[in-house]
Amino acid sequence: MNLYLATDHRGHTIEKELIQNLKKYLDVNIITSQLPHSPEDDYVDFALDVLNRMDKSKDIAVVICGNGIGMSIIANKVRDIRCARVTTIDEAVAAREHNGANAIALGTTNISKMTKLILAFINTPLPTEARHLRRISKIIKYEHGEYNEL
């Protein structure tokens, strides 16, 4: 598994410290966007850069912008990405455990909270309960044009 990290200009200011914190707890390859940052950059470009490079079946992405909303919206436009904007440990765990999310979106909060949210997400196993798997299957089928049973 690789961890893909995308930040806009607001998240870029904390990116190096966040990576250092994560490497204290994880033995994982962290891949970031190599696009240049500026105060006028667009979060869309950074998200698409990493999300389109990751292996959606085994990698995880963390996308960070001012409040996480924009990043979560663009992430969910990428085929086979299930991204949740999370603000609490419970949300991070549920995103992974109930929805099989392979990405989370965060706002630029303090580093220790971010690190805890990311670790909770990564350390939560994917869903195994039939009800969660059924729902995820419907999402994937709809995304691929194979489900419209409303």
Which residues are catalytically annotated? 65, 98
Amino acid identity, position 27: D
